[in-house]
Amino acid sequence: MSEAIIGGTANSLDEARRSAQLPLDYVGAGPVFGTTSKANPAAPLGIAELAAIVREVDCPVIAIGAITPENVASVLETGVHGIAILSGVVCADDPRAATERYRAVLDARPADRKTSVRSSR
């Protein structure tokens, strides 16, 4: 088994369904709330479509797109395997403090909701 982790990207439920048919370790779904890191971003998925993706694909889903410490809980409640953060850390005045805020929210999750980054595929 390779040590590489291979993921796909989905900007909609249909794309997530197609990606999940590939031999991927995870599907990155987003942007959940939008993004400022791309010149021509896809429309925001929103929480309802993210939750539908989580329910309908048979691989871990990693959410991305304008996820903040304030909205992490609502993202995690969809059942995603994890989150990916870009602007919330690299564009912060204090990236270390920003990372610590995200970490605190993730660490506050109940133990039965915490999962590893590695999939079993």
Output the pTM of the full model. 0.86
Domains of the chain: 7-113 (3.20.20.70)
Q: Within its chain, how far is the Cα of 55 from the centroid?
A: 14
> In this predicted model, what pLDDT tens digit does every residue of 103-120 receive, in sequence order?
999 888 876 655 544 333
- Determine the average pLDDT of the residues in 83-111: 92
Q: Is residue 3 very low, low, confident or very high in pLDDT (cuts 50, 70, 90)? A: confident
